[in-house]
Structures are given as structure tokens and as C-alpha cells.
Amino acid sequence: MTTTTAPVQTPPQTGAAPGRGPAVARQVVSYVVAVFLAFVVAGIVIAVLGHNPLSAYRAIVTTSFKSGFGLVETVHKWVPLVLLALAFTIPLAAGKYNIGGEGQLLVGATASTAAGILLADLPLPVLLPLVLVCGVLAGAVFAWVAAWLMDRFGINEILSTVLLNFVSFGIVDYVASEVWSDPAAGHPTTIPIGQGGLLPQVGRPAMHLGVLLAVLVTVAVVVVMRRSVPGYELRAVGANSRAAQVHGIRIGRVAVGSLVVGGALAGLAGAIEVAGVHGKLIEGMQSNYLLLGIIIGLIARGNALAVPFVALGIAVLEVGSSAMQRTAGVPSEMVLIVEALILLFLLFSDVVGARLGRSSR
């Protein structure tokens, strides 16, 4: 007579995954160490140049928080930075590199300006959504060009997005110098858009409501990336495109979609700059947002949840750089050195961690 033993059922685990806590702790430590070392090295450079590092860092840290104006300026700087960083991070999750955020921002700003000028007589409830939607669509279409070339002809998206940036420069120059030029500006600038196309301002000093829109978009991106089927497909394609294809994921569609969504976010950044900050199209309004967006995306290690916090830190540095130059005499470009050093030390920590992991096996 044979006796059978019922299989032992293990209750489902409801706690955190084993090892996740230490992994998060290691990441936090790596960020803290990278920032600390970056400021130490930059401080040495500042001292060698004959300036006081403590005065320079005090100016950077306090400018954004010691007055309402500094806080508003920092938040306004955060908006394009976080949107450009997400425009880079989303395609990065699929293994693609969107280096065209600058061009997509400018094309979005151009389309928003066109809508705001041509339809200037419309009321705010009609014109403002049109201005924002035109910017989003223009950025998405501009990114779609590079995505289509990649999907149809196999042209590397890095090359096409970089070259399209130069196309956008020509578009902005033509529109601001020939089509709707403001002769009194003394610089390639368009005439202002209609009052109904401007974002409402709140508080004193005034903060435009594009900040709230950027927060909502950022939350939506994080939720979609972490809690939805498209987000899962995006991460699957980036992790192993061949395995994703075997399991029925259309990797071409996912790659194209990621670039188009990234372009839409960059276009939204351009629309908010027009409707919330400048009220017009200005040649050079993109500043160094592309470079900073890429740096933010890489410092965040492609994690959409970390992007807004890294972007805030970079915004504080950028706003404080001018104060550092005024009060401590340190060139504002030193902030770029700090940002680059943070990224380099993070990459170095990844290399060291990978080697230590291999040696311990």
C-alpha cells in the first residue's frame, strides 16, 4: 500500500523582495559619495584658481531657497529639465538614444508660437490648450522622423536626432527673423503670442502653472513606466530585445513609440517655455537643456522615478551658478564641471561594483 504525501504549500511572500533593501542602500550610498567627491574635486579646482570654495558653494545652495524669487526661478528651471530628461530616459529604457530633445523643444516652441500668433484673438480656454497641444504634436512629429528613418531604413537614431537639431535651428532662425520678426528686439525674436495663450500665474513672485502641468506629466510617466503593460514592454525590449520579440512584443513599434513619446515631452517643454516664461519665440531659448537633460537621465540611471529629484538638484546648481559668479567670482561654468564629475563618479562606482561582484563569485 502506497502512501502519498501532500505537497507543502509555501505562503506567498508579502514583504519586499530579498536583497532589494541592500541594493537600494548601495545606490543611495553611491549617489551620496559621488556628489561628495564631485564637490571635493571641484572645490580643489576653485581653490587652485584663487577663490574660496565655501563661499562659492554657499552661494549655490542658498540662492534657490533664501528668497521667493530664487525658489520660483529654480522651479521654472526644473520644468524643461525634467521634461527633457524624461524625453531622453523613456527611449533609453528601450535601448534607444534620443539626442534630439533640443530640436524637439525648439520645434514645439515654434509651433506653439505660430498658434499663439495666428489665433491671438481666441480666449484663454481655447487658445492655451491649442498652444500646448501644438507644441506636443510638433515635438512628436519631429521625433517621429528620426524614429521612422530608424525603423524603415535602419539609420541610427543618434545620428538622425543630432542632425535634426540643426534643422530646428534653421526653422527657429527663419521664423524669428523673417516670418513674425520683432524689429525692436535686436535679436531674432518673434512678436508676442496672444494673451489667451499665456499660462496663468500664481503667487508672488509669480509662478506659471506649467509647473503643475510638468508635475502631473512626470507622475503619469512614472506610473506608466512602472505599472502598465506599455511600460513593461518598454523595459523588456531594453533588457533583451530578442527575448521580447520571441514573446510577441513588437520591438519596432515599441522603439518608435518611445522616441515619439520622448519628442512629445520635449515639445511640451518648448510650449511651456513660450506660454509660461518668454511669451514669444527667441533664438537660443533652449539654453543648455539638451546637455543637462542627458546628464540628468544618466545620473538617474534611466530610472524615471529618480529623474525629477535629480532634475531639481541640477536646477538648484544652475540657478546658483550665476550667484556664485557674482559673489565669489567663480566662473559659472564650474557648475558644469560639478555635474560632469557627479556623473563620472557614479559611472566609476558602477564599474567598481561590477568588478567586486565578479570577484566575489
Q: What is the pLDDT of residue 13?
A: 44
More confident residue, 359 or 205: 205
> Considering the chain, what is the average pLDDT of its residues?
89
Residue 338 pLDDT more than 80?
A: yes
| Cell matching residue 175 | 521664423
- Percent of the chain past pLDDT 90, that is, above it, reads 67
Residue 262 pLDDT more than 90?
A: yes
pLDDT in tens, 172-229: 999 999 999 999 888 899 999 999 999 999 988 899 999 999 999 999 999 999 999 9
Across the range 223-248, mean pLDDT stands at: 91
Task: Enter the pTM of the model.
Answer: 0.90
Kindly provide the b/e burial profile for residues 160-175, where b requires at least 16 CB atoms within 10 angstroms of the residue's own CB.
Answer: bbbebbeebbebbeeb
Residue 16 pLDDT more than 60?
A: no
Q: What is the pLDDT of residue 184?
A: 87
Residue 111 pLDDT more than 80?
A: yes
